[in-house]
């Protein structure tokens, strides 16, 4: 049992806990992943629990992958029998298994862009002006409703103001549209299994019998839908182990409910509570500074985090003249540290910020200084136009009912199908209750389109549909790109942008080939679902030797020797939209998360002046700076020294010259 010998007393107690509910309050850097994996290994190796009876739920694919890798070292091939994944992959797994059983077909997962397009379509059909009711607000409210496990009918019943009542008919029609398209959004990945389990108790009983030991990571970030799904699955055995830290609850803005962890003992009587308070990550100064900030929150469970590591350097606070000097400070510190310690690498440094728009000055200066960097949470590969177009082809071919994606590709590349032609087809679809593809087929058969691009495309589309399973997915994708003329469309442009898009398309085919090699027998829908469930943090590659630029939310679960937190200013951090009491408490938790990413040295940066477009505003340092105990902070509230040229360049940028 070597996996237990590496644990401290409280970690050991958590890993070897028997049956019944268990709450592990794991402070930042307290080794929670080690405890989770040790507990699973102990259940399988010592207690004789079948690996297939264990369900471990995480919040990111990266965390799930890390747990699998560690468990492979501990339990070997048995790891393949475990169910380890995010809430969304768990929901998809349940839906796929029930689809195979003939309950219903596997739906297409709509990403954020597709969800937004569908909402806009619904609002257009209901003659609701986007200027009066912004579609982004509608999407946000629908997502919050699903996070709270509210159906359209339940949402309508609870609507107690004009705004909510205006959302209700849109939500109802949107949900019906999804069903007609055989599609689901991310919220449905959780809500649909809950509704299935509620409607079919015998189905729930099967999963309860199967998953006898359930472990949930980052429990403080669960919403009401995730809480309901977890409660349903664990109510059979009662063996629910949750790991979390109320001080790191940072997703209230998207529906997470911190009360799920705060009231866990009330909801699950006879809960065993174990606090993991020893930090193995940060120096004493970093940890003490972080603790002095988070203690100002009232909605928390008291912990006394401590560490046996060195005192380390004090946390450094630097007030810069503007965002460009802020970036210059980072460059200078990175250069100085690497000069002093040649063994350091660029990947040892990260810049964290509250909003993604803050990355621009760092990108500019890193490029000028030839410092390699990687942005997490920016424009993803799978969000690029040419990749989205190709995936829409695959989605439309895999699900003929998916009129939304069929509409996207009908004129891509341009086929001369004008607005009047589309209106005729839409009219046919509504009149005869047909999908868009069926409506196009009917109009062609009726002689509306006798020759030209429309009949040609419909024939090609039907031909491709018949050949979906006749060759490998990457070969099929390549054939789509050539037969539809999409590759030729970009080749004819002969621009740098077009060349880049062609390389991206080749990269997509290569990525699909690699996926097939690692997942024999995988289908188009398997691959499309994988892409749909990717998150920003999945783009982080800890092996790449680059400085990482990322939002604080994306940094959750990561750690770096050197951390720079930029934009420590009122209105930025805490954010101007979070100035009520609950909002500031969550922002403070976010600050605590950011600070505790640092292992060796932590730098907090603010700017006296900050530009937004042509406007430059005077800034004031964040309240969180003053909450840090001065004993652990070295502060410099004046602009950093620089060369004359630095100041000239700064003034030029401020003046927009």
Q: How far is 67 from 70, CA to CA, in rounded Å? A: 5
Query: Of 111, 114, 188, 218, which residue is the catalytic one?
Result: 218
Can 441 be counted among the known catalytic residues?
no
Q: Are 11 and 277 in contact (CB under 8 A)?
A: no
Can 218 be counted among the known catalytic residues?
yes
Backbone angles phi, psi at 490, to 5 degrees: -80, -35
Residue whose structure tokens are 């408490």: 585
- One-character DSSP codes across 59-114: SSHHHHHHHHHHHHHHHGGGGGGSEEEEHHHHHHHHHHHHHHTTSSPPPEEP-HHH
Q: Are 536 and 557 in contact (CB under 8 A)?
A: no
Query: Of 192, 333, 556, 597, which residue is the catalytic one?
Result: 597
Can 488 be counted among the known catalytic residues?
no
Q: Are 260 and 220 in contact (CB under 8 A)?
A: yes
Query: Of 141, 148, 217, 221, which residue is the catalytic one?
Result: 217
**Whose CA is closest to 96, among 537, 404, 464, 528?**
528
Query: Of 60, 175, 248, 443, which residue is the catalytic one?
Result: 248
Can 120 be counted among the known catalytic residues?
no
Query: Of 13, 16, 33, 526, which residue is the catalytic one?
Result: 33
For residues 449, 455, 457 and 459, what is the CA-based torsion angle, rounded to 10 degrees? 150
Residue whose structure tokens are 């728009």: 357
Burial of 205-234, coded b for 16+ CB within 10 Å and e otherwise, reads eebbeebbbbbbbbbbbbbbbbbbbbebbb
Query: Of 32, 70, 525, 599, which residue is the catalytic one?
Result: 32
Report the SS3 class of residue 447.
coil
Q: Are 587 and 574 in contact (CB under 8 A)?
A: yes
- One-character DSSP codes across 240-271: EEEEE-GGG---GGGT--THHHHTHHHHSTT-
Active site residues: 32-33, 217-218, 248, 597
């Amino acid at each position: 049992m070597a996996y237990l010998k590496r644990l401290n007393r409280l970690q050991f107690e958590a890993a070897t806990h028997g049956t019944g509910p268990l709450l592990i309050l794991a402070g930042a850097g307290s080794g929670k992943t080690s405890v989770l994996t040790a507990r699973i290994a102990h259940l399988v190796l010592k207690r004789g629990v079948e690996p297939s009876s264990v369900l471990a739920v995480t919040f990111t694919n990266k965390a799930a992958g890390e747990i699998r890798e560690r468990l492979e070292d501990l339990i070997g091939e048995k790891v393949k029998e475990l169910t380890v994944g995010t809430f969304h992959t768990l929901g998809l797994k349940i839906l796929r298994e029930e689809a195979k059983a003939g309950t219903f077909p596997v739906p297409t997962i709509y990403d954020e862009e597709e969800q937004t397009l569908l909402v806009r379509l619904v609002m257009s059909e209901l003659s609701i002006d986007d200027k009066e009711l912004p579609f982004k607000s509608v999407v946000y409210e629908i997502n919050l409703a699903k996070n709270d496990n509210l159906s359209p009918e339940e949402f309508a019943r609870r609507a107690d103001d004009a705004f909510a009542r205006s959302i209700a008919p849109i939500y109802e029609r949107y949900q019906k549209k999804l069903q007609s398209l055989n599609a689901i959004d991310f919220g449905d990945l959780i809500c649909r299994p809950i509704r299935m389990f509620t409607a079919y108790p015998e189905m729930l009983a099967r999963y309860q019998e199967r998953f006898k030991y359930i472990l949930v990571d980052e429990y403080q970030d669960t919403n009401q839908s995730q809480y309901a799904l977890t409660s349903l699955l664990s109510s059979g055995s009662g063996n629910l182990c949750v790991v979390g830290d109320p001080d790191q609850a940072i997703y209230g803005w998207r529906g997470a409910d911190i009360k799920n962890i705060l009231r866990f003992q009330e909801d699950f009587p006879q809960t065993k509570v174990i606090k993991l308070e020893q930090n193995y990550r940060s120096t004493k100064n970093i940890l003490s500074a972080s603790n002095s900030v988070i203690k100002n929150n009232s909605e928390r469970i008291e912990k006394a985090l401590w560490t046996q590591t060195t005192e380390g350097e004090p946390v450094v606070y630097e007030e810069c003249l503007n965002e460009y000097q802020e970036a210059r400070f980072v460059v200078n510190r990175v250069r100085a540290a690497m000069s002093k310690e040649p063994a350091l690498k660029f990947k040892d440094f990260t810049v964290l910020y509250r909003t993604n728009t803050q990355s621009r000055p760092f990108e500019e200066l890193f490029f000028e200084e030839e410092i390699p960097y990687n942005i997490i949470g920016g424009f993803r590969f799978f969000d690029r136009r040419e990749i989205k177009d190709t995936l829409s082809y695959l989605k439309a071919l895999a699900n003929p009912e998916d009129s939304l994606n069929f509409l996207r590709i009908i004129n891509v590349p341009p086929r001369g199908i004008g607005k009047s032609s589309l209106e005729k087809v839409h009219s046919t679809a509504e009149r005869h209750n047909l999908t868009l593809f069926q409506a196009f087929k009917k109009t062609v058969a009726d002689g509306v389109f006798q020759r030209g691009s429309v009949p040609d495309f419909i024939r090609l589309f039907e031909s491709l549909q018949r050949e979906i399973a006749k060759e490998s997915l990457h070969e099929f994708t390549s054939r789509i790109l050539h037969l539809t003329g999409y590759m030729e469309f970009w080749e004819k442009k002969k621009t740098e942008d077009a060349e880049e898009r062609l390389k991206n398309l080749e990269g997509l085919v290569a990525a699909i080939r690699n996926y097939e090699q690692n997942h024999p027998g995988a289908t188009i829908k398997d691959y499309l679902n994988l892409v749909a469930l990717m998150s920003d943090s999945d783009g982080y590659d800890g092996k790449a030797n680059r400085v990482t630029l990322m939002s604080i939310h994306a940094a959750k679960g990561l750690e770096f020797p050197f951390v720079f937190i930029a934009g420590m200013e009122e209105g930025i951090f805490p954010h101007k939209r979070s100035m009520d009491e609950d909002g500031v408490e969550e922002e403070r938790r976010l600050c605590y998360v950011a600070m505790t990413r640092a292992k060796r040295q932590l730098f907090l940066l603010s700017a006296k002046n900050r530009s937004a477009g042509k406007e430059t505003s005077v800034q004031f340092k964040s309240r969180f700076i003053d909450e840090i105990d001065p004993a652990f902070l070295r502060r410099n509230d004046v602009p950093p020294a620089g060369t004359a040229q630095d100041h000239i360049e700064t003034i030029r940028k401020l003046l927009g010259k």
